[in-house]
Amino acid sequence: MKQKAEAAGYTVTEQPFTASGGKRSSNVLAEFATSDSRSSTRSDPISGTASDGST
């Protein structure tokens, strides 16, 4: 997940803790990082248009 997110141009920050579920928490954190990047002023690599926060 981290590699895919980084390949798409997103920054994935590793957290020093894991929630209940182990590796599962890493995926959730990566999803949050991706969402944060999408909601910024950068253009969306999938649609090619500036993200307005809606998915």
Half-sphere exposure of 14 (CA within 13 A, CB side): 4
What local confidence, expressed as pLDDT, does residue 9 receive? 63
Measure the CA–CA gap between 34 and 42, rounded to whole angstroms: 12
Rounded average pLDDT over 11-21: 57
Measure the CA–CA gap between 32 and 22, rounded to whole angstroms: 16
Q: Which is more confident, 40 or 10?
A: 10
What local confidence, expressed as pLDDT, does residue 47 receive? 58
Neighbours of 17 (CB within 10 A): 6
Measure the CA–CA gap between 34 and 19, rounded to whole angstroms: 18
Beta carbons of 30 and 12 less than 8 angstroms apart: yes
